C-alpha cells in the first residue's frame, strides 16, 4: 500500500538496505546520503510483532523491533521514518501475512488480554472480530493449527488468508503502518496454503466448479 502518489507510479531502484529491526537514526541516515540509497526496509509491523512486542522475555530479533511494547516501537518508528525519507530514501516495513505467536490454551499472545489492548481508537481501531480464534487457520475438525518451531517462542499460528476477519486484521495493521509514515510494505509468510475452515472450503469448491463437472468431483472425492 502506498503512502503517497510516489509509490503508485512505476518505480525502479537498485540500491536497497534492510534492517530486520529498527536501527538508530545515526546508523542509517548518513549511509543513505553517502550511498544514495533509494529504499530502506526496516522493522516489523505485522501480527507477529503485535503478538510478541509486550513480552520482555522474548528476544527482540524475533519480535523484529528493538524496544519492549507495541506503542513504544511504533512511536520510535514514527520518529525514525521521516529522518530516513528526508535523507532521500523511501521506507518499507516488513509485515507477515499470516504468522503470529502465542498459545490459545493458556491465552497467551493475541489470544488473551492483549487482543483487547490493540483494538483501541489510538492503535488499530475497532476489532474486526470478537477474538483471534475466529481468524486463525484450523484443521477440518475445527481445531486450531499450530506448530512448535525450534528456537521460536511459544507456538506459531497462522491467520487464514481466506477468512475476511483475518484480512481485516491485516488491513488495520497496514493502515497503522501508513499512518506512522511508511511508504509501503514487503510482505512475508504469504506462501501459506488453504486450511480446513469453511472459508477455504467454499473458495476451493467454487474454484473447482469451473474446471470439473459434478461426476468428476464425485469420482475424485467420493
pLDDT digits (tens, 9 = 90+) for 119-142: 999 999 999 999 999 999 999 899
Q: How many CB atoms lie within 10 A of CB 97?
A: 19
Residue 26 sits in which domain range?
Answer: 5-221
| Virtual torsion, Cα 5, 7, 10, 15, nearest 10 deg | 140
Tell me the average pLDDT across 183-211.
Answer: 88
How many domains does one find in the chain? 1
> Which three three-digit cell numbers place residue 111?
489470544
* Closest of 43, 35, 38, 48 to residue 16, by C-alpha: 38
Flag whether pLDDT at 30 surpasses 60. yes
Looking at residue 151, what is its pLDDT? 77
Per-residue exposure over 10-26, b if at least 16 CB sit within 10 Å of its own CB, e if not: eeeeeeebebbbbbeee
Closest CA relative to residue 98, chosen from 201, 18, 203, 169: 169
pLDDT at 6 over 60: no
What lies within 8 Å, CB to CB, of 22 at 6+ separation is 42, 43, 65, 66, 73, 76, 77, 80
The yes-or-no verdict on residue 219 having pLDDT over 70 is yes
CA–CA gap between residue 196 and residue 162 (Å, rounded):
11
pTM of the model: 0.88
Indicate whether 8 pLDDT > 60.
Answer: no
pLDDT tens per residue across span 50-107: 999 999 999 998 899 999 999 999 999 999 999 999 999 999 999 999 999 999 999 9
Amino acid at each position: 500500500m502506498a503512502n503517497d502518489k510516489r509509490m503508485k507510479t512505476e518505480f525502479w531502484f537498485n540500491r536497497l538496505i534492510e534492517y530486520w529491526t529498527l536501527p538508530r537514526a545515526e546508523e542509517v541516515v548518513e549511509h543513505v546520503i553517502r550511498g544514495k540509497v533509494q529504499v530502506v526496509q526496516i522493522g516489523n509491523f505485522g501480527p507477529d510483532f503485535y503478538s510478541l512486542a509486550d513480552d520482555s522475555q522474548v528476544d527482540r530479533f524475533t519480535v523484529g523491533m528493538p524496544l519492549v511494547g507495541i506503542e513504544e516501537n511504533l512511536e520510535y518508528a514514527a520518529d525514525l521514518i521521516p529522518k530516513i525519507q528526508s535523507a532521500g530514501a523511501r521506507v518499507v516495513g516488513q509485515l507477515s501475512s499470516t504468522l503470529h505467536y502465542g498459545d490459545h490454551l493458556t491465552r497467551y499472545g493475541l489470544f488473551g488480554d492483549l487482543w483487547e489492548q490493540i483494538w483501541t481508537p489510538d492503535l488499530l481501531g475497532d476489532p474486526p472480530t470478537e477474538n483471534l480464534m475466529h481468524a486463525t487457520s484450523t484443521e477440518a475438525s475445527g481445531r486450531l493449527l499450530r506448530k512448535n518451531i525450534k528456537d521460536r517462542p511459544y507456538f506459531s499460528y497462522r491467520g487464514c488468508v481466506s477468512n475476511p476477519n483475518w484480512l481485516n486484521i491485516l488491513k488495520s495493521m497496514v493502515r497503522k503502518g501508513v499512518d506512522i509514515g511508511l511508504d509501503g510494505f514487503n510482505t512475508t509468510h504469504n506462501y501459506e496454503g488453504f486450511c480446513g475452515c469453511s472459508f477455504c472450503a467454499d473458495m476451493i469448491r467454487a474454484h473447482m466448479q469451473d474446471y470439473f463437472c459434478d461426476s468428476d468431483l464425485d469420482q475424485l472425492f467420493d
